Amino acid sequence: MHRLLVLFVALASCARMSIPVKLPSDITAALPSNCRQVIYVTAADQKATAAELTMLERTPANDWHSTGDAIPVRIGRNGMAWGHGEFALAAPAGWRMKQEGDGCAPAGVFRITQAFGDEPHPSYIKLPYILCTSHHWGIDDVRSQHYNQIIDDRIVASDWTGPETMIPTIGCYKLGAVIAHNPYNKPGLGSCIFMHIWLGENIPTAGCTAMSEAHLRRVLAWLDPAANPCLLQLVPQP
């Protein structure tokens, strides 16, 4: 009886973990053909600071299926603004554009390029990894040639003011991943967009996508650079 119950729970879990998800046609056209993993973050409207994250996998039939349950996340304190990615995806009508310091999370499609944290590369993380120290800074100074980059000041001479420390002094940068928003580092279009640990389930971010540490570890363990993962962040159309 116990074995049957375990089997039933396992089968039910598998069924729950493979649910077809229909993405908008313009979004699927913008996704690179070699992208087989998508972090799909959706909010109720452009002003919402709470959102939901679903991990999607591309099937051999070129469909998308969710894996696992949805994860609650917090996004920008001023909601979402249309971001600047490397893919041909125009801003829909009525969207404001992402700018430096606007407190908005970027909407659109963006690569997830690397992870970071305060400990040596964890074995469960497959992404390239930065071990952050007191020498690492996120540069948001638009006058710096290193704008929108994580810099090690032991290697690069400072040309910035007021950088963001990458050491986890308040806990959120204990673990995270880099989102390739504004990939050409154009001054003023927004900088240092990450997935990271939230400061609290009801506390929005300055523009990043944040979640509990347990959920972030689950997401990072799933992400595989061989699958060319992307973040798809938007407000679904009715």
Question: What per-residue string of b and e applies to 56-84 under the rule 16 or more CB within 10 Å gives b?
Answer: bbbeeeeebebebeebebbbbebbbbbbb
User: Residues with Cβ < 8 Å from 5, sequence gap 6 or more?
Assistant: none
Q: If residue 10 lies in a helix (H) or strand (E), which one and from where to where?
A: helix 2-16
How does DSSP assign 25-43, residue by residue? Answer: HHHHHHS-TT--EEEEEEE
Tell me the pLDDT of the chain (238 aa) as tens digits. 334 333 333 333 334 457 999 888 888 888 999 999 999 999 999 999 999 999 999 999 999 999 999 999 999 999 999 999 888 788 889 999 999 999 999 999 999 999 999 999 999 999 999 999 999 999 999 999 999 999 999 999 999 999 999 987 778 999 999 999 999 999 999 999 999 999 999 999 999 999 999 999 999 999 999 999 999 999 987 7
Residue 66 near residue 56, CB atoms below 8 Å: yes
CA distances in angstroms from 186 to 7, 49, 54, 98, 205, listed in the order given: 53, 26, 30, 12, 22
Q: How far apart are CA 129 and CA 150, in angstroms?
A: 12
What is the length of the chain? Answer: 238
Tell me, what amino acid is at 213?
Answer: E
Residue whose C-alpha is closest to residue 74's, from 43, 113, 98: 43
Cα radius of gyration (the chain): 18
What is the value of pTM for the model shown? Answer: 0.90
